[in-house]
Amino acid sequence: MDQDVKAMYDNADKFINLANEIFQSDKSGMAGVAIRFAAARFSAFEASLRTADLESDKEKMLQLFADDFTNMLRSNIEDYIKAQTPK
């Protein structure tokens, strides 16, 4: 596995572990909402670093990040489906 990919998964696991920890004491679903909000907030910051004119590139950045999230979510949902399918 590529070092950058491994680092991404390792860092993602840290966020997931924190969300799981929060979920243990709050089953309301707010852990998921909070992690999505945090991801959106940080993504806005990241978008600001990727362009010299965020206002002009706003729609491009929104599409870029939305596509990225959709692909990641699709892949993870497919993994859960495979894990739940009897063999």
pLDDT mean for each 10 residues of the chain (87 residues) = 92 95 90 95 98 98 98 97 89
CB 35 within 8 A of CB 19: yes
Q: Which pLDDT score is estimated for 29?
A: 82
Q: Which pLDDT score is estimated for 86?
A: 83
Closest CA to 43 of 22, 59, 66, 20: 66
Q: Which pLDDT score is estimated for 67?
A: 98
Q: Give the list of residues 6+ apart from residue 51 with CB closer than 8 angstroms, or none.
A: 57, 60, 61
